[in-house]
């Protein structure tokens, strides 16, 4: 059995990790941390776990974490980088759901996250944990940077086109919507019901920290320098990300050829579902499931629109982290991740 620990167990992604790991046949969760709730039973805070979980929160203790096989950091940016080097030295695998190891360039990280990178050596050893594109590297890595939620939806939607060099690079737009759980449990004041319900607003239009993550990954996959306009919006829903991606083809391509590109690229992927051409996937079709549903459109010759939906807490965070863990421990990638989405 893999002995696992979760740092940040009172947050949304930490509890989502617990929901997925408790029934996982090859994992035993031995540690779940909270500084504020140390000593409290987890199921007093999350009654959905009653009868499934006897764990109590403990304060993060490096000596205890160092005895585990894998530690998930479901913590704000800047936390994992202070613990990861020591854990790695004790042969503990680390999966960071935050952004500490996502941007390979420490200076780019410092610019977007407003803090110097304090573990540059670990940063160099980290692998970007998007299994559909970096599966082999993940299997050999001991430190995984779990991708951001928006980047997961955007990269999975754009990558087949960019890998094939089919799009003009100066016309790319990612117009995205997120549910409020994307901001975390201790989210901002504008995420409380009276402020967030019955309203939609864009934010971060001039620059959001997920833009460099998306651009760096798509540049790596395409071999070109990719720049795009990324516009996130806050939606009055709890879970879900909907990405509408726009691009212009460099040369004419039939609808059937576009569809075949996506269908073939993801044919063997257990967690990417390519819908029939011209479909309209809804976030409710992925709620609670580790899946990205994608649909391709060509409204006018040469104009491509890709729709990509995920649950931000599952394929956008905890589910993808478990997928990465499975890969790191040479387990079947789908183990413990075959939940069907909750509908309605």
Ligand X SMILES: NC(=O)C1=CN([C@@H]2O[C@H](COP(=O)(O)OP(=O)(O)OC[C@H]3O[C@@H](n4cnc5c(N)ncnc54)[C@H](OP(=O)(O)O)[C@@H]3O)[C@@H](O)[C@H]2O)C=CC1
**Taken in order 101, 332, 154, 169, is the CA torsion positive or negative?**
positive
Q: Which two tokens stand for residue 221?
A: 């996959």
- Cβ of residue 14: shortest distance to ligand X, in angstroms? 5
- 234 touches, from ligand X2W, ligand X, none (C-beta below 5 to 8 Å by class): ligand X2W
Q: Please report whether residue 79 would count as binding ligand X2W according to CB under 6 A.
A: no
The contact pattern for ligand X2W, residues 196-235, with x = CB under 6 A and - = no contact, is --------------x---------------------x-x-
- Cβ of residue 273: shortest distance to ligand X, in angstroms? 20
* In contact, 272 and 262? CB cutoff 8 Å: no
Residues counted in the chain: 344
Alpha helices in the chain (DSSP H): 12-21, 42-45, 62-65, 80-89, 106-113, 120-125, 131-139, 149-163, 193-196, 210-222, 255-265, 319-328
Choose, from 53, 127, 149, 292, the residue flagged as catalytic: 149
Q: Please report whether residue 74 would count as binding ligand X according to CB under 6 A.
A: yes
Helix (H), strand (E) counts: the chain: 12, 13
Gap between the terminal Cα atoms of the chain: 35
Q: Please report whether residue 212 would count as binding ligand X according to CB under 6 A.
A: no
Q: Please report whether residue 129 would count as binding ligand X2W according to CB under 6 A.
A: no
Please give the radius of gyration of the chain, using alpha carbons only, rounded to the nearest integer: 20
Window 316-335: residues binding ligand X (CB under 6 A): 316-317
Window 145-204: residues binding ligand X2W (CB under 6 A): 148-149, 178, 182-183
How many residues interact with ligand X2W (rule CB under 6 A)? Answer: 10
Active site residue 56: no
Q: How far apart are CA 142 and CA 252, in angstroms?
A: 43
> Which of 236, 262, 234, 235 lies closest to 247, judged by CA?
262
Task: Quote the DSSP letter at residue 8.
Answer: -
Name the residue whose CB lies closest to ligand X2W. Answer: 182
Q: Which is nearer to ligand X2W, 265 or 287 (CB)?
A: 287
The contact pattern for ligand X, residues 26-65, with x = CB under 6 A and - = no contact, is --------xxxx----------------------x-----
Task: Quote the DSSP letter at residue 315.
Answer: I
Q: Determine the 3-state secondary structure of 116 from DSSP.
A: coil
Q: Please report whether residue 204 would count as binding ligand X according to CB under 6 A.
A: no
- 215 touches, from ligand X2W, ligand X, none (C-beta below 5 to 8 Å by class): none
- Cβ of residue 241: shortest distance to ligand X, in angstroms? 8
- Interface contacts to ligand X2W, rule CB under 6 A: 98-99, 148-149, 178, 182-183, 210, 232, 234
Annotated catalytic residues are 149
């Amino acid at each position: 059995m893999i002995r696992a620990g979760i740092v940040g167990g009172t947050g949304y992604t930490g509890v989502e990790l617990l929901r997925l790991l408790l029934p996982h046949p090859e994992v035993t969760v031995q540690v779940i941390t909270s500084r504020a709730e140390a000593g409290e039973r987890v199921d007093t805070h999350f009654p959905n776990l009653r009868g499934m979980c006897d764990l109590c929160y403990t304060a993060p203790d490096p000596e205890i974490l160092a005895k585990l096989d894998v530690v998930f950091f479901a913590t704000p940016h800047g936390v994992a980088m202070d613990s990861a080097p020591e854990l790695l030295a004790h042969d503990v695998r680390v999966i960071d759901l935050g952004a500490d190891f996502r941007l390979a360039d420490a200076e780019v990280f410092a610019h977007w996250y407003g803090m110097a990178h304090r573990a540059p050596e670990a940063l160099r050893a980290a692998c970007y944990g998007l299994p559909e594109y970096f599966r082999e590297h993940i299997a050999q890595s001991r430190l995984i940077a779990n991708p951001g939620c928006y980047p997961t939806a955007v990269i999975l939607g754009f990558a087949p086109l960019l890998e094939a060099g089919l799009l003009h690079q100066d016309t790319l737009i990612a117009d995205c919507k997120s549910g409020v759980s994307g901001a975390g449990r201790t989210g901002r004041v504008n995420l409380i019901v009276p402020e967030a319900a019955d309203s939609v607003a864009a934010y971060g239009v001039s620059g959001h920290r997920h833009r460099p993550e998306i651009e760096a990954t798509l540049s790596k996959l395409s071999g070109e320098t990719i720049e795009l306009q990324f516009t996130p919006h806050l939606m009055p829903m709890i879970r879900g990300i909907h990405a509408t991606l726009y691009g212009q083809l460099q040369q004419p391509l039939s609808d059937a050829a576009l569809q075949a590109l996506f269908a073939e690229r993801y044919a063997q992927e257990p967690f990417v579902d390519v819908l029939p051409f011209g479909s309209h996937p809804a976030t409710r079709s992925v709620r609670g499931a580790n899946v990205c549903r994608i649909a391709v459109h060509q409204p006018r010759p040469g104009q491509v629109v890709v729709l990509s939906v995920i649950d931000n807490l599952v394929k956008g965070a905890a589910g993808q982290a478990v997928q990465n863990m499975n890969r790191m421990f040479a387990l079947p990638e789908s183990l413990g991740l075959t939940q069907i989405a909750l509908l309605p």
